Amino acid sequence: MSTNALLDGLLSAGARFDFGNSSPDDVALALSALAGEVEEAQLFAALASHPRTDLTEKALLAAIHATDVLAMMEIASWLGRGGLIAPSSRKAVGEAFRKRAANASDHYGVRAQALKAAMILAQSEAGLRLRLQADLISLEATDDGNYLRHAARIAGAIHAHAPLEELRELLTRLANVKEAMDEALFELGLDALRAGMEATTPEAALSEFRQAQAFFERAEQASESRIDAKLYRSCLDVLVDFHTGQDGDLTTYVEAIQQAAFGYTAYLMRSDRDAETGSWLSVKDCERVHWSSLALRLESLAGKLSHSAWISVAAALEDELLSIYTASRSMFRRNTAGGLEELLRPRIVGSMQKELRSLDILELWIAENSSSGLLPDADALRELVVHAREDLVAHRPSGAVVGSSPTAAIIERLPASEQATIVARIEADALSILNETVSRSFIEVLEAATNGLMENGDYAKHEDARRFFDVVLLHTTRFLVARHDLSVATFPLVAYLFNRSTDNPPLEADLQHDFVNFLMGSTLAQICTPEARDLGGGRVDVLFTFRWMKTTAELKRSLPKRSSDQLVDEYGPQAIAYQSTNVSFAILMVLDLFDRMGAQPDIRDQISLHHRTVADSSVQKTVVLFRVQGKRHTPSDLGKSALTAPKSKSA
């Protein structure tokens, strides 16, 4: 039953209730008498979304005033999952939540959840946000300690998006309140970490990193359950030692980070409930995947104890920490019509992250071509890359000033004939990061994939296999989203997706070349092998290997119209066959050349999970299908013929 139907039914049960001849007081009175017939959170959702706000708003505000702690928790969770308040009621509803949170005589649980609800609404209501900031700044240490703990987290989330010195001072005060101490210290640590990553001098970076290190260490001491504080502090131990020139045991450092990361990723595993991506609870799936990515990257560097290894580890830490921080502080909001969702990100500069990744890609490309005769001075180029990376990680102004690009300066030294190739790799990676950070759909498809994979025995049982495949999924999803959005003008290598020729259509090899080129420009370059042989008795398009685990990506081309299930039935057995002696999940990527009048489906329709068994096996295999749409037009060239009527609900 829809929320509107639920509300109409509830009111009509009140004997001859007539919307047309009723007043707001009539509605509020009727609902107060009948509210026991439906859960309070359901009633709230029905009232919030009913079109007759002129009649229901008073009852909605009364519900906020009267609800208990469990119902308030469900209401805040509903808002966090994207629940919408009618535009005309948002201001009044936000104020009602704010006042309930500020009522010191109320139960701390009700106040905490009301504060969370108010913050979600304040994301798109500037006036409410300012009043909420004022309420937080005015908090006294004598308030309920449990409420102050929740308030510290809310204050930290708001401060990440709209930095305010008074909020930082509040967190400093709350760090002296026993119940709120660990939360306030953790938020102060995140704030100092952000400042360190944004620093443009080595002195400023070291000062902020040391401050963050101290805050996280104090948070650990305040609460034994702060695995997250231990993890951040372990990362900062490396960064501080790097900045001070100390050469400790890098292997020991990396093992400490990995151990903490493994524990924290288990903590971040999603529950059975939908993720609250619209609240301060963070984009936990992305946060978890990036911690896994960091652990995977560090393992390949830990055995090298040279100075360059320290630079590489520090660079990997800064790169992934920026992604992790962004995921942990990001929030989604919807516009008043319920669509065109917007990702709110913390105010943090990402130029260093892009530059570090570009240098990684450039270094790998130099290594690949050092014996080809194209690069007679390959060693000198490698040295330039090392020095450029060290300048960036050390926050030296020569390498970090706005507008400068050490990567571009090195590329200019390459033969002119080769510059386009490496630039294409770097552009592809940069565009994939952009899509990840601005697209709500990216988060949704990644969440759906990781959630559905929990039905797979190997993924659910083996934490290391889950972390490994999460990172593979992260980059494969980046590839698909980027190819969904890229134009030929921006990135000429995707021209095959716009090839509409019936006599000379694009080949499977075009997709493979594009995907492999993308992988070689990603952090998976070290663990993937194109055209790998002797796996399941055959040759696989792309093999991913990490520790004991191997998984594959099989690439195909399809011309007729096929559903996702039909594609898996057609090509899935081959993808599954490669996994008969290792983990029971793999990737199938299909270049879909059925002509949809030049259009392409929504990105959420292009990734799907399929569980299958073959050859009477008792082990269920999982194929993650990625459909890459070909035969496309640019959006401006699409005609009316590309539109279809919506399917009826009975279909």
Rounded to whole angstroms, the Cα distance separating 40 from 43 reads: 5
Lowest mean pLDDT among 134-143, 199-208, 261-270, 546-555: 261-270
Q: What whole-number percentage of the chain has pLDDT above 90?
A: 22
What is the C-alpha separation between 78 and 98, in angstroms, rounded?
Answer: 17
CA pair distance 231, 268, nearest whole angstrom: 13
For residue 649, what pLDDT is reported? 37
More confident residue, 553 or 635: 553
**Which position has the higher pLDDT, 281 or 509?**
509
Q: CA–CA separation, 321 vs 325, rounded Å?
A: 6
Amino acid 38: pLDDT = 47
DSSP class of 334: -
Please report which confidence band the pLDDT of residue 648 belongs to, taking 50, 70 and 90 as the band edges.
very low
Residue 271 has pLDDT above 50, yes or no: no
Q: Are 352 and 197 in contact (CB under 8 A)?
A: yes
> Taking residues 612-637, what's their average pLDDT?
82
In the numeric block, the tokens 């004939």 are attached to 417
What local confidence, expressed as pLDDT, does residue 268 receive?
65
CB 284 within 8 A of CB 254: no
Confidence class for position 350, pLDDT limits 50, 70, 90: low
What is the per-residue pLDDT for 338? Answer: 39
CA distances from 313 to 45, 120, 242 (A): 48, 37, 9
The mean predicted confidence, pLDDT, of the chain is: 78
Q: Could you tell me how far CA 519 lies from the centroid of its own chain?
A: 19
pLDDT at residue 548 is higher than 80: yes
Per-residue pLDDT band for 39 (boundaries 50, 70, 90) equals: low
pLDDT reported for residue 589: 94
Is residue 231 a contact partner of residue 267, using CB atoms and an 8 Å limit?
no
Q: Please answer whether residues 577 and 571 qualify as being in contact, where contact means their C-beta atoms are separated by less than 8 angstroms.
A: no
DSSP letter for 412, please.
Answer: T
pTM of the model: 0.69
Q: What is the 3-state secondary structure (H, E, C) of 422-477?
A: HHHHHHHHHHHHHHHHHCHHHHHHHHHHHHHHHHCHHHHHCHHHHHHHHHHHHHHH
Backbone phi and psi for residue 347, each to the nearest 5 degrees, phi listed first: -80, 95
Does the pLDDT at position 151 exceed 90?
yes
Q: What sign does the dihedral 590-596-598-604 (CA atoms) show?
A: negative
> For the ranges 117-126, 467-476, 566-575, 631-640, which has the lowest average pLDDT?
631-640
Tokens of 323: 């992604």
Ranges 30-39, 238-247, 572-581, most confident: 238-247
